Amino acid sequence: MAGCRSWVFFITVCAVRFFEANAEIKVTIPVGKLFTYELLRETFQNDFEPLSKLYAGRLYDDPMIFKCNRQNFPDLPEWLRFTQRHPYNNGFLYGTPTSPGKSIIEIYAINKRSYEAARHILVIKATAEKMLPYQAEFFIKLREIEKVLPSAVQVEIKQDLQKLWDTEALEIVNFTNALDRGGRVPLPLAGHFEGVYVKVGSEQYFSDCLLRVLTPENEKQCTAGAKVKVPGGCSFCSIPSNCITWCKTELFDLTKQEPAPPAPTMGSGILEDGGDFDPPESPPSRDFFPDYIVTVIVPLILAIILLLLLAYIMFGRREGVTKRNARTNQIQLYHHHTIHGNTDELRNMAGHRGAPTPLSTLPMFNSRTGDRAPPLQSDSIPLIMAQHDPYSDTLPRK
């Protein structure tokens, strides 16, 4: 009976894990509104170690990396982006759908400790909705994209912008990393951030503070590169890191946009009768001999000239051994032959262990005949001749 219960429990756990791994998370978002979805590491940690809390009492905090793509496609949809700063941080999917439709996103979590993988399915359904007619984009210099995506931070930014717009009916439209706009990568030091663009929209027209962006004085100051502060009475950032850069603020009035051109009319797909086909005439004949001369003959002639010049330098200007010996001092030639003779003698001794003592090691000998001679009757050519030192007269004498 106990074994039967164990098997039932095992099958139940396997079924729960199977259905949990293949469960679909469905989300509905209107077109033109910001969508954010946080990939919690705790959720995937439970998939990797579901029974560790119950029996082993171990709580793992494994590093994980997430891979997201559209189902049956290698990348995400055009409007959707993913960010994860570090394997110990949660990941975020964020973006703003531009057209209604359905997107199925596959989320893979890879455990960097055990190299296990878990798979979740996220179904995003974008419904048609009217775009907000008045939109504004602000640049927050002291923020990074993964720091503004949590819902609590979004509420803080939204509250400050509501005061600036002077309305409660305000919606966040999109977040964009400054690096995606061509911004420079900041230094890895404290106080340096990438920056984030925040776009918001509303049904209400722009406030007086926002309309100051369009004044000629503000545009002139921003063009000159001066540090422009937020005008008095328009600074509503309760947290310093949420303060906006005034010169990078842009306003968009979608009510004044030109209507889209009409779609082209579809025809029958059959070309109208235009008469018989008249093929073009054949091009005139062309003489390729000048091209052949320039391409083949000229490089060949240059190669032959270089070959002859190299042959003259290598073979025609050699002085020869006889001429070289005639111009060389006899003492140098004698030393040269002596060195060669001694070298041959040492090589012969190396090949025969029973060879006699070399003549070059005797006290006095004639290198040509091999006869011993008294020191006074030795070869008249000294091994090293004394040479006059031009600086010998300048040396001190004892």
- Joined together, the tokens standing for residue 207 give 């406030």
The predicted structure's pLDDT at residue 196: 94
Cα(370)–Cα(385) distance, rounded to whole angstroms? 22
Q: Are strands 91-95 and 250-253 parallel, antiparallel or unpaired?
A: unpaired
Q: Which residue has the higher pLDDT, 315 or 103?
A: 103
150 domain-assigned: yes
Burial grade of 385 (CB within 10 A; 0-12, 13-18, 19 or more): exposed
CB 102 within 8 A of CB 150: no
Residues 138, 252 share a domain: yes
CB 126 within 8 A of CB 97: yes
Residue 342 binned pLDDT confidence (cut-offs 50, 70, 90): confident
202 domain-assigned: yes
Residue 397 binned pLDDT confidence (cut-offs 50, 70, 90): very low
Residues 102, 174 share a domain: no
- From 221, 256, 291, the end of a domain falls on 256
pLDDT over threshold 90, residue 81: yes
**Maximum Cα–Cα distance across the chain:** 126
Percent of the chain with pLDDT over 70: 80
Mean pLDDT (whole number) for 108-120: 90
- CATH number for 120: 2.60.40.10
Nearest to 107 by CA among 38, 61, 174, 17: 38
Helix extents (H) in the chain: 2-21, 41-48, 145-148, 151-165, 208-211, 216-223, 289-292, 298-311, 321-326, 330-351
The predicted structure's pLDDT at residue 51: 55
Residues 88, 63 share a domain: yes
Cα(98)–Cα(80) distance, rounded to whole angstroms? 10
pLDDT over threshold 80, residue 258: no
CB atoms within 10 A of CB 386: 6
Nearest to 120 by CA among 35, 19, 10, 52: 19
CB 59 within 8 A of CB 41: no
172 domain-assigned: yes
- From 93, 127, 161, the end of a domain falls on 127
Instruction: Report the domain count for the chain.
Output: 2
CB atoms within 10 A of CB 220: 11
- From 127, 144, 174, the end of a domain falls on 127
Q: Are strands 24-30 and 117-127 parallel, antiparallel or unpaired?
A: parallel
Question: Per residue in 225-243, pLDDT tens?
Answer: 767 777 767 878 888 888 8
Cα(218)–Cα(212) distance, rounded to whole angstroms? 7
Question: Per residue in 6-29, pLDDT tens?
Answer: 554 455 445 445 444 456 889 999
Give the residue numbers spanning the domain of 151: 134-256
315 domain-assigned: no
Cα(231)–Cα(212) distance, rounded to whole angstroms? 8
Residue 361 binned pLDDT confidence (cut-offs 50, 70, 90): low
Burial grade of 76 (CB within 10 A; 0-12, 13-18, 19 or more): middle
Residues 233, 189 share a domain: yes
Residue 102 binned pLDDT confidence (cut-offs 50, 70, 90): very high
| 301-312 CB burial, b ≥16 within 10 A, e <16 | eeeeeeeeeeee
pLDDT over threshold 60, residue 124: yes
Mean pLDDT (whole number) for 104-109: 94
Residue 222 binned pLDDT confidence (cut-offs 50, 70, 90): confident
Compute CA 119 distance to the chain's CA centroid, rounded to the nearest angstrom.
Answer: 28
CB 137 within 8 A of CB 87: no
Question: Per residue in 126-150, pLDDT tens?
Answer: 999 888 999 999 999 999 999 999 9
The predicted structure's pLDDT at residue 20: 46
Cα(194)–Cα(181) distance, rounded to whole angstroms? 11
pLDDT over threshold 60, residue 308: yes
Nearest to 207 by CA among 233, 227, 229, 228: 233
Cα(342)–Cα(302) distance, rounded to whole angstroms? 50
Cα(249)–Cα(238) distance, rounded to whole angstroms? 18
333 domain-assigned: no
Cα(66)–Cα(105) distance, rounded to whole angstroms? 12
- Joined together, the tokens standing for residue 348 give 């012969």
The predicted structure's pLDDT at residue 385: 44
